[in-house]
Structure 1
């Protein structure tokens, strides 16, 4: 077992309590969203609902669709359009997970066997395509060209992010700017779109729509930054999850970018051997984590997440005080402090 670093215990503020509080405020809507997801995953081709249901049920807190519901409520929406659109957001997210695991050749997701490990790569890719198609059906049924524009653009940007990540994979010369460009596209864009469409269906003002877009974008960046730290964290080990998957896959994330940039010539040679040449030996993961610790790469990556969390917090400043605003602010702490 590698010697791994714990996240800063001073950051703990109630674990999942903040997210649970936000979910409670949209609970009735979320139950209907889940019903829509189950209904719209139906297909006479039995493998489709079987595989899609496997990954949808494999864990996660439905954070992205919850954000759509919460954004609509924050803007005073009383209708029903936000529910199928929240399901649409979840379909897009699930499709990207299916494709991601195939591209990354991942065998695990959230500590369980990934869909591609269970059903095979071909099935995972094709069911991912089905879910994208379902998402676009839901968009067109909504009838709003603005909603269609937002979500279709997000889908395109996510795909671009996937391709962009291929260009940085195994490249130890990747800059922090290039890394941020990847995670903005791959992760943060859907967070931004999820929040934005909630405001759009509520006929919010241009300023409110932009504020929620900014909130989602920066929350998404913070989310991915912490995800990348958790891959090397003792928290994951305590939860019985594997650590170092990014390292084994040669995935260049911010902790590695910082450790490489701050390292000695000998240390950079280590990173090139393990991440570019993929010549990994027993004990290399332990050394990689040790180098990240010695150069404060994990700590500073969390601090970057704190920065984007602060920007997300500022974005909600124009909204009046309310239980929903409080919950959305508190969920920023959840994102930065979470264990999974």
Structure 2
């Protein structure tokens, strides 16, 4: 019987890039080892072993392969991208006081906040060591800029997430920081390491940027209409954590006085009562903001696909186009 999973574009990408992905996983295991602090491999092995699609490092390998790269350093860059991602996850779970990630207990729950923060710091440091090895100043600029942008996006979210005056532009800035920055860096460095033409490098950057934005909008939507079994998150976690995401930002913009008071009490003041989540969902449906947010996600996926136009015909290009469609198909 054929595996239904194999029709998913990221599984097809993983199959095509399997030799390189094995090399990336080996490098991740080697570089997260620590002679002096056994807690480091314990914590990272828990997170890295939780599965996950390894989408970001795969994007680096895909971009490099698509551009005809034959050297060894795309492996280093893919591992760098995964280390930056894993470091941000460790820190995020502490900031959000999360108990679950990918359906498993978070590191901060199994160990403690100190371990999660410090091991996250270690992985960031490791990522900087790794990114120097290809010897490309431009690659280091792209990845170190991405690391700074991610941190900036997370800090911006702290102030924007519970402030009802946060608009769609600020939301986009947060998303570009905390999510899209690493997607676009992952695809861009694949082109740079392959010494691709500037128009191709720009196309890869634009693809990663738009894909990352679509990915995060979908994630925020699934929080209000997803299936817990599939997403590993409970419906309404963002509401309970008072995170102002796009469906709510749109609903606040359309709210009458009573509705505005409801959002102020639940999101800004954090005074939530039984039945509030249900009422929030009623308001999102009343104003059609789940539907309009879904349209935004599809528009960004469309931009991602359009961005790839300058790239040569290639099986991997087709898979990247399919991947943009798949990201938004999680909503159906």
Give the Å deviation of 1:319: 1.4
Counterpart check, 1:41 vs 2:32: yes
CA distance in 2, matches of 1:293, 1:41: 46
Q: How does 1:71-150 map to 2 (within 5 A)?
A: 71-150=63-142
Counterpart of 2:152 in structure 1 is 160
Counterpart of 1:336 in structure 2 is 328
Q: Deviations over 1:240-296 (max 9, x none)?
A: 641211111111100110111112211111111111111111111111112112211
Contact 2:203 2:311 in 1 (8 A): no
Provide the TM-score with structure 1 as the length reference. 0.93
Contact 1:18 1:333 in 2 (8 A): no
Q: Deviations over 1:105-133 (max 9, x none)?
A: 22221232211121111110000000000
Give the Å deviation of 1:298: 1.4
Counterpart check, 1:29 vs 2:24: no
Q: Deviations over 1:83-142 (max 9, x none)?
A: 111000000000011111111122221232211121111110000000000000101122
CA distance in 1, matches of 2:21, 2:275: 45
CA distance in 1, matches of 2:6, 2:151: 32
CA distance in 1, matches of 2:6, 2:173: 29
Q: Deviations over 1:141-177 (max 9, x none)?
A: 2211111111001001111111111111211221010
Helix, strand or coil: the match of 1:106? Answer: coil
Aligned equivalent of 2:189, options 194, 197, 207:
197
Counterpart check, 1:70 vs 2:66: no
CA distance in 2, matches of 1:240, 1:175: 28
Number of residue equivalences: 328
CA distance in 2, matches of 1:238, 1:308: 23
Contact 1:67 1:195 in 2 (8 A): yes
Where structure 2 has 5 or more consecutive residues not aligned to the other structure, the ranges are none
Counterpart of 1:308 in structure 2 is 300
Cα 1:286/1:121, change in 2 over 3 Å: same
Counterpart of 1:18 in structure 2 is 9
Tell me how large the CA RMSD over aligned residues is.
Answer: 1.7
CA distance in 1, matches of 2:113, 2:69: 41
Counterpart check, 1:59 vs 2:60: no
Give the Å deviation of 1:40: 0.6
Query: Which segment is superposed worse, 108-117 or 205-214?
Result: 108-117
Aligned equivalent of 2:238, options 241, 246, 256:
246
CA distance in 2, matches of 1:290, 1:52: 41
Contact 1:16 1:338 in 2 (8 A): no
Query: Which segment is superposed worse, 209-218 or 233-242?
Result: 233-242
Name which structure has the greater RCO, CA cutoff 8 Å, separation 6+: 1
CA distance in 2, matches of 1:202, 1:180: 30
CA distance in 2, matches of 1:315, 1:268: 38
Counterpart check, 1:209 vs 2:201: yes
CA distance in 1, matches of 2:91, 2:6: 30
Counterpart of 2:290 in structure 1 is 298
Provide the TM-score with structure 2 as the length reference. 0.95
Helix, strand or coil: the match of 2:70? Answer: coil
Give the Å deviation of 1:235: 2.3
